[in-house]
Amino acid sequence: MPQDALTGWDDETTAEAYASFARTYPMYSASSRDLAARARLAESRTVVDLCGGTGATAEAILALAPPRAEVVSLDNAPAMQRIGRRTLSDPRLSWVTARAEELAEHASAGGVDAVVCNSAIWKTDVPAVFGAVRRVLRPGGRFVFNIGGGFAGVTHPDAQARSVSPTLGSLIEQIAAREYGTPPASVSGTRRLPLTAVRRYLTAAGLTLIEADVTAQHTTMAERRAWLSIPVFARPEHGFSYDQQMAILRKAYAQTRPDDVTVTSWLVVVAQLNGVQG
C-alpha cells in the first residue's frame, strides 16, 4: 500500500492543503462528476461517498441525486471531515468517521443505491471493502470507483502522445539522487491492482463487473506542482523533511513550463450487485 494510504491524512495541514487544491484545480471535481454520472443516481435514495475526504465527490453526488436522497460521506480522517463540514452544507449530507472496511457497520444492509469511491480504493483492504459494499447495496445497486493508472497497470493513449518528458516526478528523483544520493524510486508489484485482480475480487464478493474504461486526465505542470505540495503526496516519500521536499520540488518545477500538459491514466470501474442492469 502507498505511504499516503496509511499515514498523514488526519492532519490539519494536509487537510487544509488538500481542500485548497480541490477548490482551485479541477482534478478531483472532474473525476468526481464522472464517477457520479456513471452511478446513475436519478432515482437513488441513499448514496455512499466512500473515502470521501473533504467532500469533493459528495458535492458531485448531491448535484445529481434527487432532492430527497440521503448522501453519506464516510472517511477515517476527522481532520478532512472537519473541513468538509465547514465548507459543504447540505441537509441531505451526513458525515461518518470510519474506515472503508467498516462500511457495512454504518449503512443498512441492502439499503444503498450506489457507492462511489474517488481516488482511494487501492489504499484499502480491497477484498474486505468489496465485501462490505456487497452487503449494503440493494439488488441492481452500483459500485463505481477509479484506480490510478500506475496501480492498475494501464496507460491511456493520450498519456503516451501528449505527456511531456521529463515529468515533474522524474525531475524530483534526479535532483534527490544528485544532491542527496537517494537511489531511484522503484515501484513495488504489491502496489498494483490490475483489472484481472479487480474482477476476481468483485466476483468473490458477489458483484458483477459491467464497465471498465481507461480514461485520461489532462493537467498542467502548475497543477501537478500544487498537488505535490500537499504534504501527504510530497516526494521523495522517505527520509526527507517537508521543507526538503518542497526545496526539491521548486528546483524540479523551475526546469519545466507551467502550461506544459501532463497526462495521467485512470481505470474507471462500474460494478453491480447480482448483475441486474439498472
**Range with the poorest average pLDDT among 114-123, 184-193, 216-225:** 184-193
pTM: 0.93
Enclosing H/E stretch for 195: helix 195-205
Strand order, beta sheet including 207-220: 93-97, 70-75, 46-50, 112-117, 137-148, 261-273, 207-220
Whether residue 210 has pLDDT greater than 70: yes
Q: What is the DSSP string of 141-164?
A: EEEEEEEEHHHHT---HHHHHT--
pLDDT of residue 274: 83
pLDDT at 188: 44
- What is residue 25's predicted lDDT score, i.e. its pLDDT? 97
pLDDT computed for residue 202 by the predictor? 98
Cell 515533474 -> residue: 168
Q: Within a domain: residue 115?
A: yes
Task: Tell me whether residue 278 is in a domain.
Answer: no
Structural domain includes residue 155 = yes
Specify the CATH number for the domain of residue 15.
3.40.50.150
Give a yes or no: residue 22 inside a domain: yes
Q: Please give the tally of structural domains in the chain.
A: 1
The whole domain housing 132 covers: 3-273
Average confidence (pLDDT) over 216-229: 96
Distances (CA, A) of 25 to 46, 86, 253: 28, 19, 17
Judge whether 194 lies within some domain: yes
Whether 71 contacts 58, CB under 8 Å: yes
User: What CA–CA distance (Å, rounded) separates 175 from 19?
Assistant: 28
What pLDDT is stored for residue 185 in this prediction? Answer: 66
Report how far apart, in Å, the C-alpha atoms of 26 and of each of 33, 93, 137, 146, 217 are.
10, 22, 29, 16, 10
